[in-house]
């Protein structure tokens, strides 16, 4: 009797929660965790724990619908799949930015230039927008 009542209360509480909001909350945590520019406001453990709690709640809601409403269950599973895909892309992007930051410019090999003349002086290289000296007419003092 008591156990049945507890189960009903739990189910009612779960039904009041919006699974889409839970996914949005997890997305916010991901955006915080996988932001390559800004350090997360919460430390890694807090982020992990929050995400774990949200996931567990989402799982409970899904299991509830699996029994009671298979159609909603399918929608929520798809929502979860989309979330996981987006999270994976975010993590990949974050990793690639972080890896790019750790590359030292000097470690990037430059191609060999076998035909490059070695007698070019810096002052001989024209600057963009600079006018090369005219070879047609010599300037005189008359103008």
Task: Tell whether 79 is covered by a domain.
Answer: yes
Percent of residues in the chain assigned helix, strand, coil, to nearest 5: 65, 0, 35
56 vs 63: CA distance, rounded Å: 11
Task: Tell whether 2 is covered by a domain.
Answer: no
Per-residue confidence at 42, pLDDT binned at 50, 70, 90?
confident
Task: Tell whether 121 is covered by a domain.
Answer: no
Whether 143 has a pLDDT exceeding 60, the answer reads: no
Q: Which residue would you say has higher pLDDT here, 44 or 80?
A: 80
Task: Tell whether 129 is covered by a domain.
Answer: no
Whole-prediction pTM value? 0.64
Mean pLDDT across the chain: 83
The domain total for the chain is 1
Task: Tell whether 57 is covered by a domain.
Answer: yes
Task: Tell whether 37 is covered by a domain.
Answer: yes
Q: Which residue would you say has higher pLDDT here, 124 or 31?
A: 31
pLDDT at 22: 94
Mean pLDDT of 36-60: 89
pLDDT at 139: 58
Task: Tell whether 65 is covered by a domain.
Answer: yes
The domain in which residue 54 lies consists of 18-102
pLDDT at 135: 66
CB burial string 6-22: b at 16+ within 10 A, e below: eeeeeeeebeeeebeeb
pLDDT at 90: 93
């Amino acid at each position: 009797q008591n156990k049945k009542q507890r189960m009903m209360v739990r189910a009612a509480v779960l039904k009041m929660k919006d699974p889409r909001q839970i996914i949005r909350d997890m997305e916010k945590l991901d955006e915080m965790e996988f932001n390559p520019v800004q350090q997360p406001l919460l430390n890694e453990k807090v982020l992990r724990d929050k995400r774990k709690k949200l996931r567990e709640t989402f799982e409970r809601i899904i299991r509830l619908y699996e029994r009671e409403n298979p159609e909603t269950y399918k929608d929520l599973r798809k929502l979860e799949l989309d979330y996981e895909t987006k999270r994976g892309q975010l993590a990949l992007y974050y990793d690639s930015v972080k890896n790019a930051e750790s590359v030292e410019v000097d470690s990037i090999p430059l191609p060999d230039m076998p035909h490059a003349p070695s007698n070019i002086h810096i002052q001989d290289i024209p600057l963009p927008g600079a006018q090369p000296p005219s070879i047609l007419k010599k300037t005189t003092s008359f103008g």
